[in-house]
Amino acid sequence: MSENLLEVKNLHVAFFQDGKLADVVRDVSFEIKPNETLGLVGESGSGKSVTSKAIMRLIADPPGKITGGSVMMDGMDIFALPEKKMREIRGGRIAMIFQEPLTSLNPLFTCGSQISEAIRLHKKCSKKEAEEQAVEMLRLVGVPSPERRAKAYPHELSGGMRQRVMIAMALSCKPSLLIADEPTTALDPTIQAQILRLIHDLQKLNGMSLLLITHDMGIVAENCDRVAVMYAGEILEIADVSTIFHSPMHPYTKGLLKAIPKMNEKVERLYNIDGMVPGFNELPKGCAFSSRCPYCKDDCASTPQRLEYVSAGHQVRCKYCRNLEQEA
Ligand SMILES: Nc1ncnc2c1ncn2[C@@H]1O[C@H](COP(=O)(O)OP(=O)(O)OP(=O)(O)O)[C@@H](O)[C@H]1O
Ligand SMILES: [Mg+2]
């Protein structure tokens, strides 16, 4: 039996764009251990949400298609499961907090009834029991006057409260894996911190693994055990959080970290990585970052790079990464 709760191996996802299939997620592999938090970071459009939806088998086909790879959860081959079994797992063993809370809550039903429906979908219990549990969940996620809030419709709540309702719904069946896709991006910083703390506390309480998707390196530093850095559909580096921040090896990760302003440091101008992310239909055969890489060599754009171990627990998709220090 593997020590990992989740194993994503060589995942490929394509989408129809301008009449052609574009490979928007390529060769993505990572593992998550029980109780661990893995951060998935990368710029907008790098494939974070597509990767997480593929894990839940929520890629609409068409326009999308999972074109390769496997996802193992608790020893189960997710892509081989019948849809009925998958529905039990979704919201049961794996729950997801989506990037868009308003679109994930149904405006026509009260918050309480949506949570109790989710509970009844996965657990045998009476309507009344489920309603009581829904109120308990709202209390647990810090919603004041939960009995009253359970009767409210989504539009009657503030953004922060709606996000808590989403979390209550996601956690109501005590999942072993929570996928949180930018759970706090739309919220102000104080509420952001509160919600992340809440997820963290519930993770400790229930013993749960977390895939935390964000483009905020501050959130990564405070919340994650390990980090996977995505760029244009590929993972370019994976390591524990301290290695990523103190000794990153991929030129892209180095650039990402330079782009963060530091406290007590006078910033003349924010560092920017030169150039733009290439479109999925104009990617080079080799390294996706080669067109922007300050260390790019003659063969980088033409030779595909593999994600390889540079030390225990540290993988990098750049065969030149060991020699960069001398060049800097
Ligand atoms: N429904 C769709 N139809 C066509 N292309 C899509 C669709 N959904 C995603 N894509 C493509 O997949 C790429 C990756 O999208 P994804 O939503 O995973 O990015 P992301 O990393 O989550 O970005 P963000 O930080 O903005 O949420 C996008 O650039 C887009 O080209
Ligand atoms: Mg996204």
Q: For residue 265, what pLDDT is reported? A: 61
Distance from residue 45's CA to the centre of ligand 2 (Å): 7
pTM here is: 0.94
Q: Is residue 321 assigned to a domain?
A: yes
> Could you identify the residue written with the tokens 């009767």?
151
Exposed (0-12), middle (13-18) or buried (19+): which is 109, by Cβ within 10 Å?
middle
Q: For residue 183, what pLDDT is reported? A: 84
Q: For residue 326, what pLDDT is reported? A: 65
State which residues form the domain around 294: 254-328
Ligand closest to CA 230:
1
Q: Is residue 292 assigned to a domain?
A: yes
Distance from residue 259's CA to the centre of ligand 2 (Å): 20
Distance from residue 46's CA to the centre of ligand 2 (Å): 8
pLDDT in 10s for each residue of the chain, 328 residues: 579 999 999 999 999 988 888 999 999 999 999 999 999 999 889 999 999 999 999 999 989 999 999 999 999 999 999 999 999 999 899 999 987 766 778 999 999 999 999 999 888 999 999 999 999 999 988 899 999 999 999 999 988 889 889 989 999 988 999 999 988 877 778 878 888 888 898 899 889 999 999 988 889 999 999 999 999 999 999 999 999 999 999 999 999 988 776 666 665 555 677 788 888 888 999 999 999 999 999 999 999 999 999 999 999 999 999 988 666 5
Residue whose CB lies within 8 A of the most ligand 1 atoms, among 24, 97, 184, for a mutation test:
24
Q: For residue 238, what pLDDT is reported? A: 98
Q: For residue 291, what pLDDT is reported? A: 93
Q: For residue 69, what pLDDT is reported? A: 98
Q: Is residue 165 assigned to a domain?
A: no
Q: Is residue 303 assigned to a domain?
A: yes
Q: Is residue 273 assigned to a domain?
A: yes
Distance from residue 233's CA to the centre of ligand 2 (Å): 12
**Ligand 1 atom nearest to CA at 215:** 25
Q: For residue 313, what pLDDT is reported? A: 96
Nearest-CA residue for ligand 1 atom 19 is 45
Ligand closest to CA 51:
1
Q: Is residue 238 assigned to a domain?
A: no
Distance from residue 3's CA to the centre of ligand 1 (Å): 31
Q: How close are the terminal C-alpha atoms of the chain, in Å?
A: 44
| Domains: count for the chain | 1
Q: Is residue 33 assigned to a domain?
A: no
CA–CA separation, 285 and 300 (whole Å): 9
DSSP labels for 167-230?
HHHHHTT--SEEEEESTTTTS-HHHHHHHHHHHHHHHHHHT-EEEEEES-HHHHHHH-SEEEEE
Ligand 1 cavity residues, CB under 6 Å:
15, 17, 24, 42, 44-50, 63, 99, 215, 280
Q: Is residue 316 assigned to a domain?
A: yes
DSSP labels for 56-101?
TT---TTTEEEEEEEEEETTEEGGGS-HHHHHHHBTTTEEEE-S-H
Q: Whose CA is closest to 177, among 80, 83, 78, 74?
A: 74
Q: For residue 275, what pLDDT is reported? A: 80
Q: For residue 273, what pLDDT is reported? A: 79
